[in-house]
Amino acid sequence: MCKFDCKDFVDKCHACCCGMIPFEKKLYNDNVDKIITKPIKVNEFHELDPFDNKEKDFIIPITNNMTCCFLQDDYKCAIYDERPTVCKVFGDETVPALSCHYQDKDGKKRSRQSKRQLERKSEKNLKAYLKKGKSIIKGENKWSI
């Protein structure tokens, strides 16, 4: 797990990593009272959790502003201690999708070139995903994005 610090970056990144991610259904239901942005709908699905290879029920809360429903106005997480594994490991660079565009896993600010390379990879992945005809809003989103 990376140990970088986001506080020097949030003025620029606005916690753009905190998008509409899948939550284990129980974790989500246990924390509904801490929701900051009320979802317009929730998508549910049952799938293998890639972090522990166990089948689980998941929920993706869909928000109007496309951010995580637990993201606070100060860009902090309302459920930080209980946040999902994907949030805990984000930034460790094990796969491109877990790379922060602003800092590397050691907390070093990325060069413009490195940031652009990651952005291109993300755009490519998103285009490939959308080409399959799937849509987050339509409720077909899975881990594959």
- Return residues touching ligand SF4 (CB under 6 A): 6, 9-10, 13, 15-18, 21, 68, 70-71, 77, 79, 83, 87, 90-91, 100, 102-103
Least distance from ligand SF4 to the Cβ atom of residue 133, Å? 26
Closer CB to ligand SF4, 27 or 131, in the complex: 27
Select 5 or 132, whichever has its Cβ closest to ligand SF4: 5
The vertex-10 CA angle with 8 and 11, nearest 5°, equals 90
Separation of alpha carbons 86 and 114, rounded Å: 22
Q: What are phi and psi of 29, to 5 degrees?
A: -65, -35
- Give the C-alpha separation, 114 to 96, whole Å: 12
Q: How far is the CB of 57 from ligand SF4 (least distance, A)?
A: 17
Neighbouring C-alpha atoms within 13 Å toward the C-beta of 145 = 19
**Beta carbon of residue 143, minimum distance to ligand SF4 (angstroms, whole number):** 14
Q: Output the smallest distance, CB 131 to ligand SF4, in A.
A: 26
C-alpha distances (whole Å) from 45 to each of 42, 75, 78, 92 are: 10, 27, 24, 26
Nearer to ligand SF4, 76 or 142 (CB): 76
31: alpha, beta or left, given left = phi > 0 and alpha = psi -120 to 50? alpha
Nearer of residues 33 and 133 to ligand SF4, judged by Cβ: 33
